[in-house]
Amino acid sequence: MKFKNISLLLILIISFSCSNLSKNIVKEDNFLLRNGTFTDKTWKEDLVFTRVSWFHELTLQLDVMMAHVAPQSAFNFWFSKDELDQMIKCGDSRVVLAYSLDTKDIPYSSLYEQLEKSGYTRFELIEFKKHILQHPDSQLNGFRLYHIFGICKKDPDHKPLIMNFPGYSEKLIK
């Protein structure tokens, strides 16, 4: 009798998990980059990224992480003077890490288009990228696979960033 209950439970679990495999899912959470260094400076501070991930079945198709770097943050040491000036000029600026598994399914161009539709322009963060790639968590999290850049919206209209890809539910990012 016990064996039948376990078998039935196992069949239900397998059936339920298989029925969910045909869905496109969007997940949101936070990712923390803890602490940092720059020349002789070390700090204990978290850089908080909003992370939105688009999955087809169980396969990650697109992963986007965005962080506001506060003016008083020690992570500003990672920007070159030009990068920092670019960030300061913006009403809303963010650091973006983006990864696409297969650029045919959700290409980077679709991400860039979504950013532009929400009023953002992209710019390079060459120095910041060098520093984040040397962070101890970089290898663990595969940051070398990510496109790393900044985005800027001149007017701080406080509207959420709208991300909408075919086959997936719309996601609003604050």
pLDDT digits (tens, 9 = 90+) for 59-73: 899 999 999 999 999
pLDDT at 144: 95
Confidence category of residue 15, pLDDT binned at 50, 70, 90: very low
Which range, of 34-43, 105-114, 134-143, 151-160, averages the lowest pLDDT? 151-160
Residue 22 tokens read as 């045909």
- Beta strand 121-124 with 92-100 is unpaired
pLDDT at 67: 96
* CB neighbourhood size of 109 (10 A): 10
Confidence category of residue 7, pLDDT binned at 50, 70, 90: low
Q: Rounded distance, CA 1 to CA 155, Å?
A: 67
Cβ distance 53 to 60 under 8 Å? yes
Q: How far is CA 58 from CA 16, 17, 55, 169, in A?
A: 14, 10, 6, 16
Question: Over pLDDT 90: what percentage of the chain?
Answer: 67
pTM of the model: 0.84
* CB neighbourhood size of 24 (10 A): 14
Q: Rounded distance, CA 112 to CA 16, Å?
A: 36
